[in-house]
A and B are shown apart, each in its own frame.
Chain A
Amino acid sequence: MATLTVEIVTPEAPLFSGPATALIARSSEGDFTILPQHTSTVGDVVSSIVRVDTTEGTVAFAVHSGFFQVGKGFGEDETLATVLAGVAERTSEIDVARAQAAKDAAEAKLAAVNRGDHADDDDQLVALAALERAQLRLRAAEFSAS
């Protein structure tokens, strides 16, 4: 029987590795779903919530951009889907209070930049990136609660 193995890895640690029924994520071209026997594919993953459906339920991850690769696994008729992310976390492990605080801090920083307190382009980009990360974390935490 065709099977699918999903791996979610970050530089610091592998987050998930195991059999799954589907992998649902978003690339710069749009949402996609990987099922067993998917053709070999390589692509990017934009900042979004990545869902892994297993027979025991759904596991979700907040992935802050990365890449994915689908190819033949080691076993017979096994499809291996790997998501490579610089930063990612399990939605159930997100610290909502911290994410909220980070979001507020990033918003304050952006407001300050826009008022012209800092003329630095870098500051604005850093603040924007921080805001995006915080927003994704909050959305992901909501997703796991629902």
Chain B
Amino acid sequence: MAGGQERVLRRRIRSVQSTRKITKAMELIAASQIPRSLARIIANRPYRQGMQRVLLEAALGDPTGAKKLLTLPEKVDTALVLVITGDRGLSGPYNNASLRAGERLVAQLRREGTTVRLFCAGKKAAAYYRFRGLEVEESFVGVVDRPTFSQAQDIARRLAGPFMAGETQQVFIVSTRYLSAGSQSVEVEQLLPLVVPELPEDPAEKELKGYTEFEPEVEKLLFFLMPRFLESEVFSALIEGAAAFHTSQQRAMAAATENADELGQTLTRVMNRARQDSITTEIMEIVGGAEALRSGK
């Protein structure tokens, strides 16, 4: 009777231990991906900052043209939302945080009477929203793990297309920003119309920066610049998302491994007690049997 309980416990311990092996392996794999994905963010930084500088210069050089290109129309009928999540789960709060932020944004836009077109990057986003009955217009799969620049270009083109055609007046991106190893946060950013980094309103400040030449003229330049800038921003969102994914997964799997250790320990203790109990019972039975035989003599 008691032996049966012991066997059940032994089986559970084995299952916990094999789960632990899996979580430990995932933890190590995620940890090995972190430095690589961080190196990509660092390698991308000069380009991204350079693009922001160029856009800022161009916007300052042609404030009226920039205003036309960069400000929101009075009425936004349709907005496009791109939500970036991972392709895989088991990554702690990473996927859920962006999914929920995306959902909130969609709900808010709809309350304001805006039609929302939903784009997803990452398998998890498309699956989640489709399950929730939201129509996902486009889903990019297989890009979020190790994004390449040409993939980012492709996504940027699909986002800019409807905007250029006038089908949508606003484009948002919901992604996880990698601030540091200990801090990643989900952010909702407006991609289009472009948000110029810290455009100073004060004309005096422009004077201070001095005179800048443009080649070709600034109106044309701004026009060329827009799609390239968009690509750069999408790419940086993708690589930061990848780094945040690996960090989050590593942390989640480390916690899972620890839990498995703890559970295994508890179960082992319970099992030992059960074994002891069964041995004690057995001895009692033998002694009792021997006593009975002797007294029966």
Interface residues of A (CB under 8 A from B): 7, 9-14, 17, 27-29, 32, 39-44, 66-67, 69, 71, 82, 84, 86-87
Contact = CB atoms under 8 A, between A and B. Distances in A.
B96 interface: no
Contacts of B225: 67
A40 B211 contact: yes
A87 B54 contact: no
B149 to A, nearest CB: 5
B54 A42 contact: yes
Contacts of A29: 215-216
Given A12-B149, A41-B213, A84 B51 contact: yes
Given A67-B225, A69-B54, A11 B215 contact: no
Interface string B23-52: 000000000000000001001101110110
A27 B48 CA distance: 21
Interface in B106-162: 149, 152-153
A71 B173 CA distance: 31
Interface residues of B, number: 33
A120 to B, nearest CB: 16
A76 B57 CA distance: 21
Judged by DSSP, the binding face of A is strand
Interface of B: 40, 43-44, 46-48, 50-51, 53-54, 57-58, 61, 149, 152-153, 209-216, 218, 220-221, 224-225, 228, 231-232, 235
A29 B213 CA distance: 13
A74 B47 CA distance: 17
Contacts of A41: 212-215
B57 A11 contact: no
A137 B40 CA distance: 25
Given A69-B53, A84-B50, A84-B54, A43 B44 contact: no
13 contacts: A7-B46, A12-B43, A14-B46, A39-B211, A39-B212, A40-B211, A42-B61, A42-B221, A43-B213, A44-B215, A71-B57, A84-B54, A87-B149
